[in-house]
Amino acid sequence: MRFDVLTLFPGIFQGYLEQSLLKKGIDAGLIDIHLWNFRDWTTDKHQSVDDTPYGGGPGMLIRCEPVFDCVEAVQKDVGGPGKLVMLTPQGERFDQKMAEDFAQEKRLLLLCGRYEGFDDRINQGLKPVEVSVGDFICNGGEVPAMLVIDSVIRLIPGVLGDETSAKYDSFSDSGLLEYPQYTRPREYRGMAVPEILLSGNHGAIAEWRRQQSLERTRQRRGDLINGSHTCCED
Ligand SMILES: C[S@@+](CC[C@H](N)C(=O)[O-])C[C@H]1O[C@@H](n2cnc3c(N)ncnc32)[C@H](O)[C@@H]1O
């Protein structure tokens, strides 16, 4: 799968691209990430990408011209136009279902804002899918874009060592939070691993996990059960 990140700060991604699953996925040819800087599509000698808002008010807005030109050039690059996503706190809330939908795409273009955000004609003209990572304000769209990439790549076949890991993750197949898990040692500071997990009885373990998952979800995220996830009621 190909990701094109359009940003004013491509350097922010450098460390992230060189680590862990993402690097392995890139090295294995499963993930392809391209970074583009809006500034490379400016025409004035100061390479200005922002300007003050009409009507006054604080801060600066990212101007239309470098964004339209950058997006149009990147869409013409190999691989088809792809799905254009704008990271914005005003967008639809990102969740596991959206990550699963995005993972079906061949190519995602991620538009990262900065300052006070984008001139609104960028949304009107380019019609991106607008995506928010939560009801809070980040300084830029780069960390939100990394969050989208990080959750989508887990769902690309071959990226995780064990394909079943994503299946049991919270919010995934069952729509519930995952059950509690433990590793060695069997006892730590007086806290013991539940006996059932040491029993070797796979049926009983699966049932225990299902109950724990349900209970944990009821306690912490009742909305997941009371909402559309009727699959999980007893
Ligand atoms: C400081 S924010 C601008 C916020 C804008 N003035 C508003 O109130 O909607 C700058 C950029 O950070 C990104 N950003 C901030 N919070 C975000 C969030 N919760 N989800 C996605 N992107 C976000 C967007 O790309 C945005 O253009």
What are the CA-CA distances from residue 217 to residues 84, 124, 234 (Å)? 33, 39, 13
SS3 track for 81-110:
CCEEEEEEEEEEECCHHHHHHHHCCCEEEE
Active site residues: 89, 116, 154, 169
205 alpha carbon, distance to own chain's centre: 32
The span from the CA of 215 to the CA of 177, in Å, is 9
Question: Is 232 a residue whose pLDDT tops 70?
Answer: no
Looking from the CA of residue 111, the nearest atom of ligand 1 is 25
pLDDT above 90 for 152: yes
Looking at residue 226, what is its pLDDT?
84
Q: Residue 230's pLDDT band (boundaries 50, 70, 90)?
A: very low
* 3-state DSSP assignment of residue 160: coil
Mean pLDDT for all residues in the chain: 94
Write the pLDDT tens digit of every residue in 53-93. Answer: 999 999 999 999 999 999 999 999 887 889 999 999 999 99
Mutate to test the pocket of ligand 1, among 115, 132, 137 (most ligand atoms within 8 A of CB): 137
**pLDDT score at 162:** 83
Percent of the chain scoring above 70 in pLDDT: 97
Task: Give the pLDDT confidence of 83-141 residue by residue, as tens digits.
Answer: 999 999 999 999 999 999 999 999 999 999 999 999 999 999 999 999 999 999 999 99
Domains of the chain listed by start with CATH number: 2-153 (3.40.1280.10), 170-232 (1.10.1270.20)
Which is nearest to 82 in space by CA: 111, 112, 107? 107
Tell me which of 109-113, 213-217, 227-231 is least confident: 227-231
Going by alpha carbons, the residue nearest to atom 18 of ligand 1 is 89
How far is the centre of ligand 1, averaged over its atoms, from the C-alpha of 36 (Å)?
A: 19
State yes or no: pLDDT of 227 exceeds 80.
no
Cα–Cα distance for residue pair 182/186, rounded to 1 Å:
8
